[in-house]
Structure 1
Amino acid sequence: MTEPIALVFEERQFTRSRLDALADGLAETLARRGVRAGQRVVLMSSTRPEFVVAVLAIWRLGAAVVLFSPAWKRGEAEHALAVTEPGHAVGDHPVLAELMPMVHLDEPIEPGGGPFPAPEPGADAVLVFSSGTTGLPKAVRHTHASLGAAVRHWRDALDLTDRDRIQIATPPSHILGLLNIVTALETGAWLRLHRRFALDAVLHHIEADRITVEMAVAPIALALASHPELESYDLSSLRYILWGATPVTPSVAETVTRRTGVGWVPAYGASELPVITCNPIEDVRLDSAGRAVPGVTLRVVSLETGKPVEPGETGEIQARSDSLMAGYLPAEATAQALDDGWYRTGDVGHLDASGRLRLTDRTKEMIKVRGFQVAPAEIEAVLHGHPAVADCAVFGIPDAADGEAIIAAVEPRGTADPDELAALVGERLASYKRPRRVVLVPEIPRLPSGKVLRRVLKERHGHAPGAAPATPA
């Protein structure tokens, strides 16, 4: 019997046996370079099959994968290296190659024979980057046990089997992309990787590959809803489209369903606890993030007292599960994220009597753009370095396409050019961190303690007419 195809990329096809043999071969190469169990190995790569091979190879050796976004610039990568202190590097990115010796994924990978021992469940498997309320991005540590639990939760929540066919156009360096890849491999689902997101390519392959589950974030959903020729594609193979990373925009989801007949399944998670809730496949509500998936326990606590509240009452959402991260790097940031073993999501909402979660607000100041968490302090640090900036504050406002749009309020010193300031951020940081708009203000409102009153800025300038736009890079 012919072995089924596990992964497809452009015209290349890989069985699971082929992926495993290539992973064995790359593991042998990395071992010769000195990679050992317990070490950390940076992976900074474009989306390609070799990314998957590299993850598997690093795990073969009992080492941990440190995922760097290929969108990062040098300063972001330098910060991440300082936080995680990896001993080795693999990838295809020139920024990483400039910073440390790197095994390049363009080098031929010869299949190997193994075998390699299974990694310890409590050993670190992957470190992904996430921003908290302040400061620069932190590394989220997941062990093989916690990541394995997240994979089981995702498989069961989405009712995935080896009969499913999925495609991934979101970055695999993000927790959602990695989770989808690992879940597909573990489940035996057929998987297509896309080098980058292109809507017509995604639609073409739903039709040509008979995709059964489509993964979408807000920009993909908006692009689907506004596509002038959406009805010309045969999407009848889809069981549903998943909406993740940002809250559902009902009007967008309903437009896609009306035009295609395909429904949506909203889900909710975080880098720290990848799968928190998901709508039951047979009972979807667009106004809810769903119910806690089996294996995850939810509670809502009062914003004033920190004590659990009754169903229907609003407070901070907290979650507990075997899929919870092992902690952050820097380690001292971990305590703030936990409340007696419960993960503090920073999201505000309530649970109804049936256990459905509805999200209404955020307590954290981080901005969520296309599923990526952006710390205002990181952008503010760049802006403060410009001689024309006396003070500044960054905040997010709701955006149908990206989840949130980044707005930078700048108190100028003399004359300041909003476009120039936005471009400066685009040069120093990943493109998704570039402000959508820079607004010049006479003063940044602050409390006596120095804390920025971001809510005041949102009310005054969140939709400021005539504000100079900054075109995203």
Structure 2
Amino acid sequence: MSGQSVLVFDEQKYSRDELEALADALASRLVRDGVTAGQRVALMSSNRPEFVVAVLAIWRAGAAVVLISPAWKSVEVAHALATTSPVYAIGDNPVLAELMPMLSLDESVTCSADTETFGEPDPASDAVLVFSSGTTGLPKAVRHTHASFAVAVEQWRDVLELTERDRMQIVTPPSHILGLLNIVTALESGAWLRLHRRFDLDTMLHHIEVDRITVEMAVAPIALAIASHPKLESYDLSSLRYIMWGATPVTPSVAEEVTRRTGVGWMPAYGASELPVIACNPVEGAQLDSVGRAAPGVSLRIVSTETGEVLGTGETGEIQALSASVMAGYLPDEETAGAFAGGWYRTGDVGHLDDGGWLRITDRLKEMIKVRGFQVAPAEIEAVLHGHPGVADCAVFGIPDPKDGEAIVAAVATSGSIGEVELMELVAGRMAGYKRLRRVVFVPEIPRLPSGKVLRRELKERYGRTSD
């Protein structure tokens, strides 16, 4: 088929017409196999073009796609299936195939004249179900309708200032909301897109240079890897308009190191599975200590974590957001009510707004450490630790303490010679007494989700013995 390529994978190239024809053919197969509008289809796939075709096909058939991480094990996948009750499964993962009949993505899907004619899906029907981070327990399924996800795509295109002239690459998992959002937004904008099988830093940097990538996406582990690359200057990254930093607040020292070595600036952004685009820095004039201003079509407010009262400018509390791109709810259904306060989505993040509308996040509500009645934000201490040249990565968490309520522990991955006392003195010299470190544990790496979020629960289970 003719047409300019919009999607590239290894040496394979696909035009928009080819993707549409393949999606029609697969959607026709789904309909013949009994999939009907309103049902759910599980998709557990590696990063590959067939993932894109499968998503488009499921939507054409009027069904909702249940995105399951290819990294999940049998127990996690079984929980996802029990939560969402899909009637059909597509993928390339043997774990899913063991749990229910699965149409393999390795089967050839060919364009055919024998295809159905598909209309637009009902905007109010579910489009995609993704799973929340699950850092505090079993993951919940987040339901987005076609209407809410379409608004999220429009908001993402607006804040990225994405056009048909842009060129992107996807190295993060497609089963995460950001991966899906990037793919669909690129296709809707007419941008050029390369998919990679997996993340490899040198491959990513090489393709920025040879493909003349204009917009790069990064989460914290990728940003850390770029900043510490010994031969970063050997790559020509001049085509980049910016690098987007998402999933976690920016670590300024890491971002500034990349800019110093490459000349490329950053665009911090803030979203969640439940509300994909909450706030974003402008393409020009980003502030690294802020996740930006509210995205178009999003309203923000800060409320007291104690009383729920709406707070004023500069006051710190829970961040809440209102937008047409917010999720329809969770599965199980009973989890939904607690996610909203009078229609406002409760992010669970703590922060404040300044006079200019810039939003700054200080921590996760559930991750705040209580020491002698004081609230301590792990991110505040992590920022100090990151400033030490011997700290490659770190995470701070609380453990039970009979005297103080909780004691503060830092897990640190080092990039040089460094000792516990030195780090404890560093924090003690910069922060209030109740924020002092009780213990430092040195680890090979900080456990994180693919999105970059720290698995503090895992650290607590591994190193959370009661303080002396």
Q: Per the shorter chain, which TM-score range?
A: 0.7 to 0.9
- Aligned partners of 1:308 and 1:272: how far apart in 2? 21
> SS at the partner of 1:55?
helix
The Cα shift of 1:280 comes to: 1.1
Match of residue 176 from structure 1: 178
Match of residue 213 from structure 1: 215
Pair 470,192 (structure 1): closer, same or farther in 2 beyond 3 Å: closer
The Cα shift of 1:140 comes to: 0.1
Name the aligned partner's letter for residue 263 of structure 1. Answer: G
**Number of aligned residues:** 408
Name the aligned partner's letter for residue 101 of structure 2. Answer: P
Name the aligned partner's letter for residue 278 of structure 2. Answer: I
Pair 173,402 (structure 1): closer, same or farther in 2 beyond 3 Å: farther
Select between 157-166 and 114-123 the one with higher mean Cα deviation. 114-123
* 2:398–2:409 Cα contact (<8 Å) kept: no
- Aligned partners of 2:445 and 2:261: how far apart in 1? 33
The Cα shift of 1:453 comes to: 5.9
- Aligned partners of 1:31 and 1:366: how far apart in 2? 49
Match of residue 70 from structure 1: 70
Match of residue 59 from structure 1: 59
The Cα shift of 1:137 comes to: 0.6
- Aligned partners of 1:125 and 1:144: how far apart in 2? 5
The Cα shift of 1:364 comes to: 2.4
- Aligned partners of 2:66 and 2:15: how far apart in 1? 25
1:96-122 C-alpha deviation (Å, 9 max, x unpaired): 000000000000101144421110100
What TM-score results when the alignment is normalised by the length of structure 2?
0.81
- Aligned partners of 1:11 and 1:120: how far apart in 2? 36
Match of residue 118 from structure 1: 120
> SS at the partner of 1:89?
strand
> SS at the partner of 1:364?
helix
Name the aligned partner's letter for residue 323 of structure 2. Answer: S
Pair 333,230 (structure 1): closer, same or farther in 2 beyond 3 Å: same
Name the aligned partner's letter for residue 103 of structure 1. Answer: L
**Structure 1 position 161 matched with structure 2 position 136:** no
* 1:264–1:284 Cα contact (<8 Å) kept: yes
> SS at the partner of 1:185?
helix
**Structure 1 position 84 matched with structure 2 position 78:** no
- Aligned partners of 1:168 and 1:470: how far apart in 2? 24
- Aligned partners of 2:397 and 2:360: how far apart in 1? 26
- Aligned partners of 2:445 and 2:315: how far apart in 1? 40
Select between 452-461 and 195-204 the one with higher mean Cα deviation. 452-461
* 2:367–2:397 Cα contact (<8 Å) kept: no
Match of residue 98 from structure 1: 98
* 1:320–1:341 Cα contact (<8 Å) kept: yes
Select between 282-291 and 321-330 the one with higher mean Cα deviation. 282-291
The Cα shift of 1:132 comes to: 6.1
Match of residue 418 from structure 1: none
* 1:319–1:344 Cα contact (<8 Å) kept: yes
**Structure 1 position 28 matched with structure 2 position 28:** yes
Name the aligned partner's letter for residue 269 of structure 2. Answer: A
- Aligned partners of 1:208 and 1:457: how far apart in 2? 44
1:34-68 C-alpha deviation (Å, 9 max, x unpaired): 11110000000111000000000000000000000
1:436-461 C-alpha deviation (Å, 9 max, x unpaired): xxxxxxxx5589xxxx9666667999
Match of residue 49 from structure 2: 49
The Cα shift of 1:402 comes to: 10
Match of residue 343 from structure 1: 345
* 1:246–1:403 Cα contact (<8 Å) kept: no
The Cα shift of 1:29 comes to: 1.3
Match of residue 415 from structure 1: none
* 1:90–1:105 Cα contact (<8 Å) kept: yes
Name the aligned partner's letter for residue 243 of structure 2. Answer: I
The Cα shift of 1:302 comes to: 1.3
- Aligned partners of 1:232 and 1:345: how far apart in 2? 40
**Structure 1 position 18 matched with structure 2 position 43:** no
Name the aligned partner's letter for residue 42 of structure 2. Answer: V
- Aligned partners of 1:325 and 1:251: how far apart in 2? 34
> SS at the partner of 1:173?
coil
- Aligned partners of 1:49 and 1:243: how far apart in 2? 25
* 2:8–2:193 Cα contact (<8 Å) kept: yes
Which protein, 1 or 2, shows the higher relative CO under an 8 Å CA cutoff with sep ≥ 6? 1
Name the aligned partner's letter for residue 32 of structure 1. Answer: R
Name the aligned partner's letter for residue 78 of structure 2. Answer: E
What TM-score results when the alignment is normalised by the length of structure 1?
0.81
* 1:125–1:142 Cα contact (<8 Å) kept: yes
The Cα shift of 1:135 comes to: 3.3
> SS at the partner of 2:439?
coil
- Aligned partners of 1:316 and 1:68: how far apart in 2? 29
The Cα shift of 1:174 comes to: 0.3
Consecutive unaligned residues in structure 1, runs of 5 or more: 368-394, 410-443
1:207-237 C-alpha deviation (Å, 9 max, x unpaired): 1000000011111111111111111111111
1:135-146, aligned counterparts within 5 Å? 135-146=137-148
Match of residue 413 from structure 1: none
Match of residue 382 from structure 1: none
**Structure 1 position 262 matched with structure 2 position 237:** no
Pair 84,466 (structure 1): closer, same or farther in 2 beyond 3 Å: closer
1:243-392, aligned counterparts within 5 Å? 243-365=245-367
> SS at the partner of 1:56?
helix
Could you say what the CA RMSD is over the residues aligned between the two structures, in angstroms?
Answer: 2.8
Consecutive unaligned residues in structure 2, runs of 5 or more: 370-377, 411-433, 449-468
- Aligned partners of 1:157 and 1:111: how far apart in 2? 36
- Aligned partners of 1:466 and 1:267: how far apart in 2? 31
> SS at the partner of 2:221?
helix
Name the aligned partner's letter for residue 199 of structure 2. Answer: F
